[in-house]
Structure 1
Amino acid sequence: MAFVATQGATVVDQTTLMKKYLQFVAALTDVNTPDETKLKMMQEVSENFENVTSSPQYSTFLEHIIPRFLT
C-alpha cells in the first residue's frame, strides 16, 4: 500500500489509484477488516485527496462510497 501519486500524476496513474481506492471502499465497510487497516486506508486517501478529487473517475468513486456510508 505504499503507492503515492505525484502531483502531476498521469491518467494511467490516476486510474490505478482510483481502482485501489474503490477496493478500499469495500474493505472499509467489511466487518472483518481490522480498524487499524481501515485507518491506514483512510489516511492514504486523505494524503492523496487532491489526486482523488481531480481524477476523471471521481464521480464513480463517489457513486460507490456514498451509499456504503449511508447504510
Structure 2
Amino acid sequence: MYQTIQLSSCVSVHGEFVEALKNGDVIVRDGDTVYRGRPIGKAARVQQRNYAEVKRPTNMGPFGIVT
C-alpha cells in the first residue's frame, strides 16, 4: 500500500507504507530511503503486525529523513 506524507509546508513524499505511529505520523519507504511525516488525506489504517519484523531507522535526520 502506498501513502503520501507531508514533510514540510512545501515538501511531500509518496512511498510504500511502513508504519503508522501513535502520534499520527506515518513512516514510508521510497527505495532505500525512509521518511516520517504527517499523512495527506486519509491516514493508513494501523494493522496488527509484529513490529519486531520492521527494520526501524536509528539515525533520523532533519525532516525525518534517514541519514
Q: TM-score, normalised by structure 2?
A: 0.27
Question: Which one has a larger percent strand, Structure 1 or Structure 2?
Answer: 2
Q: TM-score, normalised by structure 1?
A: 0.27
Larger-Rg structure: 1
**Higher relative CO (CA 8 A, sep ≥ 6), structure 1 or 2?**
1
